[in-house]
């Protein structure tokens, strides 16, 4: 909360994964954060914090970088480019990769680490995923654990279609 209250702080960028970010959720003043929004960026274990901020304060955060990820010039340049585009209200276009399914979708992109998304299910910090594009990130997880997490979401009526 001190970072949100400090007018000199313009952005909160996680230095690493953020283990235990779920424990911060009941300690935050979401009305204050909603009235004084700041850039929040993290990855993986910061998912709980980011989704809690979305649900309780309507704060859109950025997934994909921590300060540990910006140790080389190309990562730092990409971080600067995406933040600049975002602040200008322009989308970031992915120019590399192979699509698994051709087509176009539109909706808010919500997600993060699958285990932490699962941990928020049924809590007051679980955002509404209805009509959204679900982004799922997992590192060094066995495929059966990812299947379990996706199956749990489907059993709860949170439909995920894999193509």
Q: What is the pLDDT of residues 72-81, one digit of tens each?
A: 667 777 777 8
Evaluate whether residue 109 is within a structural domain. yes
**Close Cβ partners of 119 (under 8 Å, ≥ 6 residues apart):** 22, 48
Helix extents (H) in 28-72? 30-35, 47-57
Q: What is the pLDDT of residue 163?
A: 35
- Is 123 part of any domain? yes
Select the more confidently predicted residue: 3 or 149. Answer: 3
Give residue-wise pLDDT tens across range 48-75: 999 999 999 999 998 877 777 666 667 7
Helix (H, G, I), strand (E, B) or coil at 106: coil
Residue 162 within a domain: no
> What are the pLDDT digits (tens) for 95-115?
777 777 787 777 888 989 988
Number of structural domains, the chain? 1
Coil, strand or helix at 83? helix
pTM above threshold 0.75: yes
Dihedral sign for Cα atoms in the order 98, 100, 104, 107: negative
Q: What is the domain-level CATH number for residue 110?
A: 3.40.50
Structural domain boundaries, residue 62: 2-155
The number of residues making up the chain comes to 163
- For the cut 90, the answer to whether the pLDDT of residue 35 exceeds it is yes
Give the separation between CA 44 and CA 131, rounded to whole angstroms: 23
CA atoms within 13 A on the CB side of 90: 9
Report CA 131 to chain centroid distance, whole Å.
16
In a domain, 161, yes or no: no
Cα distance between residue 140 and residue 113, in whole Å: 12
Closest CA to 45 of 78, 70, 23: 23
Is residue 124 situated within a structural domain? yes
Residue 53 falls inside a structural domain: yes
Comparison of pLDDT for 31 and 145, the residue scoring more: 31
What burial letters (b/e) apply to 92-117, b meaning 16+ CB within 10 Å? eeeeeeeeeeeeeeeeeebbbbbbbb
Q: pLDDT digits over 127-143, tens only?
A: 988 888 888 888 788 88
């Amino acid at each position: 909360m001190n970072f949100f209250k400090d007018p000199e702080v313009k952005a909160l960028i996680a230095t690493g994964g953020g283990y235990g970010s779920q424990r911060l959720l009941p300690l935050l003043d979401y009305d204050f954060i909603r009235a004084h929004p700041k850039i929040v960026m993290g990855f993986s274990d910061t998912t709980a914090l980011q989704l809690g901020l979305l649900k309780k304060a309507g704060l859109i955060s950025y997934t994909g970088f921590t300060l540990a990820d910006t140790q080389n010039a190309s990562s730092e340049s990409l971080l600067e480019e995406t933040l600049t585009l975002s602040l200008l209200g322009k989308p970031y276009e992915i120019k590399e990769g192979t699509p698994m399914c051709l087509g176009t979708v539109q909706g808010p992109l919500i997600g993060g680490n699958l285990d932490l998304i699962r941990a928020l299910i049924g809590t007051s910090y679980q955002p509404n995923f209805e009509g959204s594009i679900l982004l799922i990130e997992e590192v060094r997880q066995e495929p059966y654990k990812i299947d379990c997490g996706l199956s749990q979401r489907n059993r709860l009526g949170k439909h995920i279609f894999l193509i």
